Structure 1
């Protein structure tokens, strides 16, 4: 057998160890620890612009104001001046701002050379807070996806942002919107400078991470009917309301304790679920009133948390025990 060429073996080994994505000179992972490799700002610009709204985390409160880190800009430091905390007279600074809490603030000044960023809390309206938090939560979800892929494929996160995240921020209103489109379309990443292996990993994780989760919508109602058809009128009215549900958005109506009932609906769209329960409530009311009964909405349809569901379940179990005890007393 012919002797192998050591030089050729070395070239073959070097080729097999090449990274999946070509690295720029300043992206050499050999000189980066894990934390450095997986840290990056959310947006392409290194610093925010004046009057931008940003989300910060409060790190320290001093005489001059509060020292914070800008969560969307790789935790660069900024300061909320004491005079910019509130429009009102400050009696207790701890009632306005607390360490480790996130705040939405406005950028007043950016000194890129010295790294100074002055911020204001008092110039932010409640509407600004809602919009900024929505944008931040979307950007945070994007960051989570890209960071996961970078970690799994041993990539530099900033390099992945340059090739995927920031181009999609340009092509779409928000990179998150592109990821949502990717749930149903495979061509979102066409034209991006990344290998197919990375695109596949992105699509796989996006469809696992961002797939819509069912939301529970709940309403509480009281129904009564003291006419001859009483019980049957209530039963048929509740069935009329429940019949408006579908396989995609099923409606359930359960007894809490007479005359209180809870209506629930599982849906992927909050507004759609609320509208459906409102229609169901109207159907129950119309059917019941036609038989001489009445219905009162005790809690209008709304999305409920797991905690609220747990509290409802605990209350229903307690009432079931109490009713069982009463039935036992009647038997004596």
Structure 2
């Protein structure tokens, strides 16, 4: 058995009418079934496309991954006939999702195999395939095990070293990381108590904070403010900021002010955060330069420019 390669599923061959991910081999319509240990298959020329074929090379490119459907399987001879033209866009999405899950499990198994010198097929036999049966997919069981150790209660690990390495690696790699969501708004109020009105309105964004939906407000430079939230689900964070902005709008408009969304809530990356920090630092330097100009003019007899 190979140390670092194995099929994703217990069955050595795919079922007829199932959708599989293949990699186009060098010989035109000959392919490798990536989920089944790279066994050979062939896309029949009549099953390449619903349209007239002008160039096979343009239709299927060597080295490219494709989703195809299984037409026939001869387990004795190892022949697998496949079709590309019978695959719908919906089928492609579902197959890609399943394949990506399987690829993640394979990556985990490969790591454990290399660390413990245990063949991958042994790991699949004892861990991967039993979890597929019980939880639908081993990757779902892996994620569940982070907070629920009972997932492993019926698993017969090949060794304690395998158990320790697997649980440690899953904890490091699959623990959900919080997503940061951000929105930029301009809040203004030119009434008699405008400053207090803006402060009160922005406080409403943080008024409904919980451990799961925590909103923070930062000043970039009046009237621009940044609202941020961190949570495990991106959609939850977006909805949280949308509710916060609605609360700010309602409060400030009640004081005859306005709240304009300059950037709608969206998930941001570290580079976005770095750009925001650079912008805030730039505004801070500009304010510091103004303060310095004022101090130099203190010797003048007239009122200093910028004094309130």
Residue 233 of structure 1, aligned match among 184, 197, 213: 197
Q: In structure 2, what is the equivalent of residue 314 of structure 1?
A: 275
| SS of corresponding position for 2:154 | coil
Q: In structure 1, what is the equivalent of residue 151 of structure 2?
A: 188
Contact 1:256 1:316 (8 Å CA) reproduced: no
Contact 2:221 2:283 (8 Å CA) reproduced: no
| Offset from partner CA, 1:279-318 (integer Å, 9 cap, x none) | 21221121122111233445443334x3xx5256437636
Give how far 1:156 is off.
1.3
Give how far 1:61 is off.
7.2
Are 1:264 and 2:225 counterparts? no
Q: In structure 2, what is the equivalent of residue 214 of structure 1?
A: 178
| Offset from partner CA, 1:183-216 (integer Å, 9 cap, x none) | 1232322233325603233222221221111112
Are 1:56 and 2:19 counterparts? no
Per the alignment, do residues 195 and 80 of structure 1 end up closer, same or farther by CA in structure 2, a change over 3 Å counting? closer
Residue 266 of structure 2, aligned match among 277, 299, 302: 302
Count of residues paired in the alignment: 292
Q: In structure 1, what is the equivalent of residue 169 of structure 2?
A: 205
Are 1:44 and 2:10 counterparts? yes
| SS of corresponding position for 1:117 | strand
Distance 1:147 1:134 in 2: 20
Counting only pairs closer than 5 Å after superposition, residues 72-151 of structure 1 correspond to structure 2 as 72-81=35-44, 84-87=47-50, 98-151=61-114
Moved more, 94-103 or 181-190: 94-103
Q: TM-score by structure 2 length? A: 0.77
Aligned Cα root-mean-square deviation (Å): 3.4
| SS of corresponding position for 1:110 | strand
Identify unmatched segments of 5+ residues in structure 2: 295-308
Are 1:168 and 2:126 counterparts? no
Contact 2:12 2:36 (8 Å CA) reproduced: yes
Q: TM-score by structure 1 length? A: 0.73
Contact 2:123 2:158 (8 Å CA) reproduced: no
Per the alignment, do residues 201 and 318 of structure 1 end up closer, same or farther by CA in structure 2, a change over 3 Å counting? closer
| SS of corresponding position for 1:188 | helix
Per the alignment, do residues 93 and 195 of structure 1 end up closer, same or farther by CA in structure 2, a change over 3 Å counting? closer
Contact 1:189 1:199 (8 Å CA) reproduced: no
Counting only pairs closer than 5 Å after superposition, residues 25-36 of structure 1 correspond to structure 2 as 36=2
Contact 1:139 1:176 (8 Å CA) reproduced: yes
Give how far 1:143 is off.
1.6
